[in-house]
């Protein structure tokens, strides 16, 4: 009977935390608090399970994976259904690794307590605006990195998408190039269309 309750508890916690706590972490925490000799536990006592905050330790690698996944999703949302199918492969092989490198290098500058406050903005800009996403400090609401894509049209070369980012280190003045993708001679559709 006790195993059935324990298993039910593990399933319930897993569902409620949406994977933030793995069942093995939970079982390790429960077993760590359980006395090795049940007879040694005072009568009427219970094993106190750790609070959710104690169970979910900050995992830098997992946090970075989620941040990079959101960056990719925001980029595809920015491209929309007309641009994405045409540039998706080049974006994934040329631009996305550079975005990941920029995010990783910037994140390495932050201690864990500050890193956990970083978040990606909710919505890319449509139309002709350059914004793909920004990474900001959710406590101070200040941008850390701004990822943009600009439509360039060099004379007689057609249209190019120039991917770049700006950083708070120089107050967003410099363009840090991530790469360019050729579109075509014809005008590209608006973003998010």
107-140 pLDDT tens trace = 999 888 888 899 998 788 999 999 999 999 999 9
On whether residue 75 sits in a domain, the answer given is: yes
Is 70 exceeded by the pLDDT of residue 34? Answer: no
Q: pLDDT band for position 7 (50/70/90)? A: low
Please give the Cα distance from 14 to 20 (Å, whole number). 8
The domain in which residue 90 lies consists of 60-182
Please give the Cα distance from 97 to 101 (Å, whole number). 6
Is 90 exceeded by the pLDDT of residue 23? Answer: no
Instruction: Supply the pLDDT for residue 8.
Output: 55
Domain boundary (11, 39, 55) is at 55
Do 125 and 31 lie in one domain? The reply is no
| Mean pLDDT, rounded, for 28-34 | 45
Mean pLDDT of all residues in the chain? 79
Residue 183 near residue 160, CB atoms below 8 Å: yes
Do 73 and 121 lie in one domain? The reply is yes
The total number of structural domains in the chain stands at 2
| Mean pLDDT, rounded, for 37-47 | 40
Phi, psi for 108 (deg, rounded to 5):
-65, -20
On whether residue 191 sits in a domain, the answer given is: no
Tally of CB atoms within 10 A around 118: 20
On whether residue 189 sits in a domain, the answer given is: no
Do 119 and 133 lie in one domain? The reply is yes
HSE, side-chain direction, 13 A CA sphere, residue 149: 31
Is 50 exceeded by the pLDDT of residue 27? Answer: no
On whether residue 192 sits in a domain, the answer given is: no
Residue 145 near residue 102, CB atoms below 8 Å: yes
């Amino acid at each position: 009977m006790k195993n059935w309750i324990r298993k039910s508890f593990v399933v319930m916690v897993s569902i409620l935390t949406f994977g933030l706590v793995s069942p093995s972490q939970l079982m390790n925490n429960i077993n760590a608090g359980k006395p090795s000799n049940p007879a040694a536990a005072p009568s009427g006592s219970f094993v106190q399970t750790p609070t959710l905050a104690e169970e979910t330790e900050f995992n830098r690698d997992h946090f970075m994976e989620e941040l990079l996944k959101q960056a990719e999703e925001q980029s595809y949302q920015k491209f929309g259904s007309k641009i994405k199918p045409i540039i998706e492969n080049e974006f994934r092989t040329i631009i996305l690794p550079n975005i990941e490198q920029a995010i990783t290098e910037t994140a390495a500058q932050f201690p864990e307590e500050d890193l956990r406050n970083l978040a990606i903005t909710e919505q890319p800009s449509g139309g002709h605006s350059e914004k793909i996403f920004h990474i900001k400090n959710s406590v101070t609401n200040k941008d850390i990195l701004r990822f943009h894509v600009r439509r360039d049209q060099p004379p007689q070369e057609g249209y190019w998408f120039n991917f770049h980012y700006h950083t708070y280190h120089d107050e967003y003045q410099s363009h840090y190039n991530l790469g360019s993708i050729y579109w075509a001679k014809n005008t590209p559709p608006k973003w998010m269309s």
